[in-house]
Amino acid sequence: MIIIDKHDIKSDDFINSAENIKTSGKYLLGIAVADERVVNSKFSVRYFFGGTGGIEEYCVKTEDSFRSISKICPAAKMYEREIYDLFGLLPEGHPDLRPLMLYPENWDSSIHPLRKDYNGVIPEMKKYGEYKFKEVLGEGIFNVLVGPVHAGIIEPGHFRFSLAGEPVLQLEIRHFWKHRGVEKICEGKDFKETLDIISKISGDNNVNIAISYLEAAESILNIEITERVKYIRVILAELERMWNYVRDVAWIFMDIGFALPAQNLFALQEELMRLNKNLSGHRFLFNSLTVGGVNLDLDSKKLKSIEEAVGKVENIIKESEEFILSSSSVLDRLEFTGKINKKTAEELSLCGISARASGLSRDTRIEYPYLAYGSLNLKPVILEGGDVFSRTALRIKEIYLSKEIISNLASNMPEGNICVQYESKPEAYGYAIGNSETSRGNAFFYIMADDKGKIFRLKYIDPSFRIWPSIQYGVLGNIIADFPLINKSLNLSYAGNDM
């Protein structure tokens, strides 16, 4: 992935630049910090902005602090809290410096795990600390606390609702209950070892996340993959997107009490996952990709089975679409529920379905075309409603688009090798970024190599990290009983969010 413009800038000057960047229509793709004291005695805080004209990078060097841009760019708020936790760099002027990932209840706040001098030892718990939630005061206000432990196999997350009667006045979420230290674990690993680790970040989107990683890794390693590999990777990426969206629409039906159409789609999801297993040996397509290529080929027999399967998906999803549009009971639950307006989506730099359902044209396949997407002349699919209905309808339209992409590429599969050999060693402390469009939004990687050709720093930003704050706005004014439906319509990852 190419960065079109790089700027080294002082933190004080960046405040003015941030205002101008925002006014120009650019949006925050991510912030990546690296402890580069071994190279230049400083930490580097890199801001990446996307939008028309490509990706721009602004780099601030610091020893201990930097100016917060959260009041100008609210999307930076979570990143800056994360940086304060994991690197101990103070974002001066940040409006909320409560710990985000390192829990004050049991972690020494002077220890920052992503610094290079962190010794890996878990600090001894000296006292049980306190975390203060935001309060809503007034007569008749009460709180409903949900999680972090949920029924079934749902991952941990805490939701704190403040209500007056039935309408929700405030929702505060607190996540990061099982921080896995993935970024730290990757340091010192080679690029293939790291691919195995990052492929397990969020299983249901492992192909598209791996594509983003490989976009960065293969750029650092100067690897040119074949056209056939590009086609196969896109077909696998769209199959992954398709089964995710079939499942998502099924859960929407389930949460409004329409079990029959839900089960019909769950059965279809099962067929797609069996197809995955026939193609790759794994229902989630695990280990399908490798550095420099893919681990599976798609011959004419397999391509035919794929085309037959996606044709069936198209027919069944049309029936679901007709059912939704013809049922007043379904529409009554979906329309105007969980609305995230366009302004909120812009301020939070939302991506994926969540952005496109609120009127923003955010699709990595189109904004920064990669692999075979650049040859397909794709048009963004956008809706304006910002509610559960829009997010559901958009998924259905995206299923049609995935079917079109797969059929196009399967009919024009080029000849060629499915993997290229490479022996190149990356430039010491050279770095690259990767982007890809998952079923939730864009997956973003920043990777820097060390002087031995291993990973020096890896930063991954899952779309869920960017989108989770929006649910606190989408639920306002709704009744608490609609929260599961709103939550399902976003369908965010806890595991991918919690690195």
Closest by CA position to 496, among listed 472, 458, 475, 468: 468
Q: pLDDT-derived band of residue 1, with 50, 70 and 90 as boundaries?
A: low
* pLDDT tens-digit readout, 416-473: 999 999 888 899 999 999 999 999 999 999 999 999 999 999 999 999 999 999 999 9
What is the reported pLDDT for 172? 97
What is the reported pLDDT for 71? 95
Q: pLDDT-derived band of residue 292, with 50, 70 and 90 as boundaries?
A: very high
CA distance 279 to 466: 32
The whole-number average pLDDT for the span 295-314 is 98
DSSP sequence for 115-136? STT---PPPP--S----PPP--
Q: pLDDT-derived band of residue 4, with 50, 70 and 90 as boundaries?
A: confident
Residue 111 has pLDDT above 90, yes or no: yes
Q: pLDDT-derived band of residue 154, with 50, 70 and 90 as boundaries?
A: confident
Residue 53 has pLDDT above 90, yes or no: no
Amino acid at 250: A
What is the reported pLDDT for 178? 84
Sign, Cα dihedral of 288, 290, 293, 295:
negative
Closest by CA position to 258, among listed 363, 175, 328: 328
What is the reported pLDDT for 106? 85
CA distance 247 to 283: 14
Closest by CA position to 28, among listed 64, 80, 67: 80
**Site of tokens 């960046």:** 14
* pLDDT tens-digit readout, 327-359: 999 999 999 999 999 999 999 999 999 999 999
Q: How many CA atoms lie within 13 A of 1 on its CB side?
A: 30
Residue 179 has pLDDT above 70, yes or no: yes
Q: Pick the range with the lowest mean pLDDT from 56-60, 126-130, 249-253, 413-417.
A: 126-130
Bridge pairing between strands 55-62 and 3-8: parallel
DSSP state of 138: S
Amino acid at 253: F
* Percent of the chain surpassing pLDDT 90: 89
CA distance 463 to 465: 5
3-state SS class at 69: coil
The whole-number average pLDDT for the span 314-318 is 97
What is the reported pLDDT for 497? 84
Task: Supply 441's token pair.
Answer: 């939004």
Enclosing H/E stretch for 232: helix 227-255
The whole-number average pLDDT for the span 21-34 is 95
DSSP state of 456: E
Residue 150 has pLDDT above 90, yes or no: no
* pLDDT tens-digit readout, 377-428: 999 999 999 999 999 999 999 999 999 999 999 999 999 999 999 888 899 9
All structural domains of the chain with their residue ranges: 1-132, 182-498
Residue 362 has pLDDT above 90, yes or no: yes
* Percent of the chain surpassing pLDDT 70: 100
Q: pLDDT-derived band of residue 41, with 50, 70 and 90 as boundaries?
A: very high
Residue 152 has pLDDT above 80, yes or no: no
Amino acid at 215: E
Beta bridge partners of 34: 44
Please say whether the structural domain 182-498 has been given the CATH code 1.10.645.10: yes
* pLDDT tens-digit readout, 159-173: 999 999 999 999 999
What is the reported pLDDT for 122? 86
Closest by CA position to 64, among listed 129, 112, 119, 9: 112
Closest by CA position to 33, among listed 352, 431, 364: 431
The whole-number average pLDDT for the span 227-249 is 98
Q: pLDDT-derived band of residue 129, with 50, 70 and 90 as boundaries?
A: confident
Average model confidence (pLDDT) for the chain?
95
3-state SS class at 98: coil
Amino acid at 244: N
What is the reported pLDDT for 43? 98
Contact yes or no for 465/348 (Cβ under 8 A) = no
Say which CATH class 1-132 falls into.
Answer: alpha beta
Sign, Cα dihedral of 223, 226, 231, 232:
negative
The whole-number average pLDDT for the span 257-272 is 97
DSSP state of 479: B
